[in-house]
Structure 1
Amino acid sequence: MTVFALLLAPGVALADEKPDCANPQTQLDMTICSNEDYKAADSELNAAYKKAMASMKETDSYLPEGEKGAAKALLAAQRAWIEYRDRACESETFLVKGGSMEPMIYAECMTRITRERTAALEDLAQGMGN
């Protein structure tokens, strides 16, 4: 009964309550908001990757047999980029290792690098001259 009363007490945030990301007030709020930003960026990345892959497959469809490989090259590049992103962001966290900011710094890095890659994939999907 006491736990239930605490959940209903004024000023006690419920676990599924989201912070105001336009004006986060605590480190926890900032971390939650940074993770939300990363989720959105990752979703945009996945959409851009699908478009870029479709473009590479189309390119492969009209290339002579010995010159195909655009889709395979993109897949290899994306896998290498994921490894790069993860290690680059891990290295940034060493600036605040063990501190309450560490997860936020990681998420912010992941968002920044993911958005850069998304822009590159969108350019790739557009093709040459666009």
Structure 2
Amino acid sequence: MKNIAFAFLVIASGASAALAQEDPPVDCANAQTQADMNQCSYQDFETADKELNAVYKQALASQAEVDKEAAEMGPDYVGAVKALKKAQRAWIDYRDGHCDGVGYEAVGGSMQPMLINGCMATLTQTRTKELKELVQGMGN
């Protein structure tokens, strides 16, 4: 009986080790399966989101500079950072809701995540462009 239990533990630990190994990276330029396309679309969104976060930090710094200069004219002129944060929160709600809606084209299907991720990546890239324009428009 001990040998059977030991053999089971050896087999189970080998299976766990095999499951723990990571799959090779997907070649997104040649993705063939829906699972690969879903993964690639998520990677596209992650890349876009990282860039957005970096540009958003620049936009916050830019708006903080605007507020700093405006403070010299009085407290009624300060609010650029607050406005940017309000807009960003609203934009995130819009992006998430809109893209969830886009996913309903394939609700319950295997391509639903790809549709949502693609939408989120596209809207995030557009928002990043808007924030860059904001920073540039503020003379930075």
Q: Aligned partner of 2:65: which letter?
A: E
- The aligned counterpart of 1:82 is 92
Residue 127 of structure 1: CA displacement? 1.8
How many matched pairs? 124
- Matches of 1:129 and 1:51, distance apart in 2: 12
5+ residue gaps, structure 2? 1-10
Corresponding residue of 1:33? 40
The structure with more radius of gyration: 2
TM-score (structure 2 length as normaliser) = 0.81
**Contact 2:28 2:37 (8 Å CA) reproduced:** yes
- Residue 44 in structure 1 maps to residue 51 in structure 2: yes
1:97 and 1:3 mapped to 2: Cα distance?
37
Distance in 1 separating the partners of 2:25 and 2:109: 22
Paired-residue identity, % = 48
Please name the residue that 1:95 is paired with.
105
2:62 and 2:135 in contact (8 A); partners too: yes
Q: 1:60–1:3: structure 2 CA closer, same or farther, 3 Å change rule?
A: same
Partner Cα separation in structure 1 for residue 12 and residue 83 of structure 2: 59
Q: Deviation digits for residues 57-98 of structure 1, max 9, x if unmatched?
A: 000011122111000000000000000000000110111100
Stretches (4+) displaced over 6 A: none
Distance 1:71 1:129, change over 3 A: closer
More helix by share: 2
Give the letter aligned to residue 27 of structure 2.
D
**Which aligned pairs between 1:1-130 and structure 2 lie closer than 5 A?**
1=11, 4=14, 15-63=22-70, 64-65=73-74, 66-128=76-138
Deviations 1:3-48 (CA, angstroms, capped at 9, x unpaired): 958x88xxxxx54322101100100000000000000000000011
Q: 1:128 to 1:51 in 2, by over 3 A?
A: closer
